[in-house]
Amino acid sequence: MKTNDNLTAERPTFVTHLECSMTGERYEADRLHNLSAGGWPLLVRYDLVAAGAALTREALAARPMDLWRWRELLPVRRTENVVSLGETATPIVPLPATGARIGIGDLSVKDEGRLPTGSFKARGLVMALSMAKELGTTKIAMPTNGNAGAALAAYASRAGIETVVLCPADTPEVNVREIAAQGARVYRVNGLIDQCGAIVAEGAKKGEWFDFSTLKEPYRIEGKKTMGLELIEQLGWDVPDVIFYPTGGGTGLIGMWKAFDELEALGFIGTKRPRMVAVQAEGCAPIVRAFEAGEDHAPRWEDAHTIASGIRVPKAIGDFLILRAVRDSGGFAIAVSDAEIAAALDESATADGLLLCPEGAATLAAAKKARAEGRIDANDKVVLFNCATGLKYPLPDLSRTLDRTGPIDHALL
């Protein structure tokens, strides 16, 4: 069997330290960390001069098309600690018919549903679990709205790490069963994801496990940033005009913004950046509210509800990082209704044959709304992120019945 050179080759890494995202305070690499002393997310920093000398576009082009092709910009130091399930590059799928309908000439979707466990959570969790293995973690716990827990369970089982997952009681059934089937102990909680997270934090303080909540460890961002690295390479080292991203905890948006800076430091791109658009549901839109109010932090959203459960995050610990990226890029935050999400899901599936997940459909609904409001132009190159396969979510039964024993009007069919 042919081996993956990205996983078998010696892994040169260029990590220098970790850094508090709020204060810039430095923390030692190769040690287990949650948040900074001030309670803020930590970011991984690299010697980008040395990484740029080691990595060229030509060298990159010769590697397999997977997440690990970016090894110089990833934190795992020892190959034996990589817990890969085959994180392939995901395609950029044009939506020509849908784009024509809503007035966007160049509209496409980065379809993350092609990854292991069927969602973009695989990117973040494969990196976080690989580092957990490398740093000797034996038991972890995490809150989830569904897909993150599924990815965590799969990679933790592969790494041999004991895992506890807490999810809201109304988490999609397929996710709950998937988490359990892949080896984690999963509990349904009568609360929202941040309330599940509070239980996880309490257990971590008691020494029961390591807290793997979003942005409470520094390595999930490093996996998620590969969306940005990969996107720019696929676009021929150019950047799109606008990126619409479904935003709950916002790790991917934060990670992509970090990726663009690192690519510039390597000399792979210039100073141009896409406008980053944080997409939320009207029933849970703390980032949108903070953006519109000019605030740096987003207070908790009460009575959070939406059919797009993956972005039902009432309070994001990285709120200021999301808002910083959105504002620095000249982008914006926008909320869409559940009715708009459902209509966009149907439109993409019937017009262009691409079945989005509800969170991905939220980005299409947001692009349609933004175009109608004049917030983006008809000639903008627009990329939407579909964060999971639509097959993971309940679909309406629109089938009909046919009696094979009676007369059949084939023309009517």
Domain ranges of the chain: 92-118+220-390
Q: Are 149 and 142 in contact (CB under 8 A)?
A: yes
| pLDDT above 50 (res 1) | no
Interacting residues of 80 by C-beta distance below 8 A, sequence separation 6+: none
Q: Residue 127: its pLDDT value, please?
A: 97
Tell me which H or E stretch contains 52. Answer: helix 48-54
Q: Mind listing the pLDDT tens digit for each residue in 45-103?
A: 999 999 999 999 999 999 999 999 999 999 999 999 999 999 999 999 999 999 999 99
Percent of the chain past pLDDT 70, that is, above it, reads 97
- Alpha helices of 111-240 — where are they, by DSSP H? 121-134, 147-159, 173-181, 193-205, 220-224, 226-234
* pLDDT average, residue stretch 132-148: 95
* pLDDT average, residue stretch 394-405: 90
Q: Residue 4: its pLDDT value, please?
A: 53
End-to-end C-alpha distance for the chain, whole angstroms: 48
More confident residue, 166 or 396: 166
Q: Mind listing the pLDDT tens digit for each residue in 177-214?
A: 999 999 999 999 999 999 999 999 999 999 999 999 99
Average pLDDT of every residue of the chain = 95
pLDDT-derived band of residue 2, with 50, 70 and 90 as boundaries?
very low
DSSP 306-371: -S-GGG--S--TTHHHHHHHHHHTT-EEEEE-HHHHHHHHHHHHHHH---B-HHHHHHHHHHHHHH
pLDDT-derived band of residue 394, with 50, 70 and 90 as boundaries?
confident
Q: Mind listing the pLDDT tens digit for each residue in 55-70?
A: 999 999 999 999 999 9
Q: Residue 7: its pLDDT value, please?
A: 52
| pLDDT above 80 (res 6) | no
Q: Mind listing the pLDDT tens digit for each residue in 291-332?
A: 999 999 999 999 999 999 999 999 999 999 999 999 999 999
Alpha-carbon span 412 to 339, nearest angstrom:
31
- Phi and psi angles of residue 402, each rounded to the nearest 5 degrees, phi first: -140, 125
pLDDT-derived band of residue 396, with 50, 70 and 90 as boundaries?
confident
Count of alpha carbons within 13 angstroms of residue 308, beta-carbon side: 38
| pLDDT above 90 (res 395) | no
Check whether domain 92-118+220-390 has CATH 3.40.50.1100, yes or no: yes
Q: Mind listing the pLDDT tens digit for each residue in 166-178?
A: 999 999 899 999 9
| pLDDT above 90 (res 3) | no
